[in-house]
Amino acid sequence: MAFFDREIDITRNIKIIEWLKSELLTDIANLFKALVNGVREEVHESISETLSNIILISYMLGRRLGISYNSIELKIHNKIRLGIIEEHDVEKYYGDLSELARHLKSSRIESKV
């Protein structure tokens, strides 16, 4: 009976992975549609909703593929640091990576309080 349960769990995991992949593609398509019309105040909420969905789905998809949330966040922090060191264009011209690093650090500090 344990083999049957394991087989059902594997099948369920595959279905969830496929569902998450389709949700990710749908949200990316929705983001592109919203951006075609330009970023205006009335679509600001829609774009932030879609971007948050993409981030959430990415975390869940990683988890289903056996990647821990901590591992994903460590990769994000490493990419931010590397972008700052290599002076990526968004950092060089806008300081976005430094700002994101500060935001993530302050979010962690506030959540611990």
Please report the pLDDT score of residue 27 as a whole number: 97
Q: What was the pLDDT predicted at 82?
A: 97
Question: How confident is the model over 63-85, as a mean pLDDT?
Answer: 96
> Which of 30-44, 49-63, 70-84 is the least confident region?
30-44
Instruction: Classify residue 53 by burial, with Cβ atoms within 10 Å: 0-12, 13-18, 19+.
Output: middle
Please name the amino acid found at residue 29: A
Nearest to 66 by CA among 8, 6, 27, 16: 16
Averaged pLDDT of the chain: 90
Model confidence, pTM:
0.84
Residue 113, pLDDT > 60, answer no
Residue 4 has pLDDT above 80, yes or no: no
